[in-house]
Amino acid sequence: WDGRLAIDAMRGVPPGRKWIHRFKHGIRFRLAETATLPSVTIVLGPFGDLVAYGDGLYYLSWYPACMTAHSDALVPPAWSAQPDESCRARIVTESFAALEAIVPQLQSVRPHDITVRGGVIVAWGSTDIDDRASELHRRHDIGVHSYGSYHSIDTGKLTMAPHFAEVCADRIALKSIA
Q: Could you report the per-residue pLDDT of 82-96, keeping only the tens digit for each?
A: 999 999 999 999 999
Report pLDDT digits (tens) over 157-175: 878 999 999 999 999 998 6
E runs forming strands in the chain: 19-31, 40-42, 48-54, 57-62, 67-71, 111-124, 143-147, 150-154
Given a cut of 90, is residue 44 above it in pLDDT?
Answer: no
Beta carbons within 10 angstroms of residue 51's beta carbon: 16
> Which alpha helices (DSSP H) does the chain contain, by range?
4-10, 63-66, 85-100, 161-177
Identify the burial level of 116 via C-beta atoms within 10 angstroms of its C-beta, where 0-12 means exposed, 13-18 middle and 19 or more buried: buried
pLDDT given for residue 13 in this prediction: 95
**Position with higher pLDDT, 115 vs 125:** 115
* The pLDDT of residue 120 is above 70: yes
pLDDT per position as a tens digit, 46-83: 789 999 998 899 999 999 999 999 999 999 999 999 99
- The SS3 assignment for 80 reads coil
**pTM here?**
0.85
Question: Strand 150-154 relative to strand 48-54: parallel, antiparallel, unpaired?
Answer: unpaired
Give the mean pLDDT of 35-46: 85
Cα separation, 83 vs 154, in Å, equals 27
Residue 21 burial class via C-beta count within 10 angstroms: exposed 0-12, middle 13-18, buried 19 and up? buried
Whole-angstrom distance, CA of residue 172 vs CA of residue 177: 9
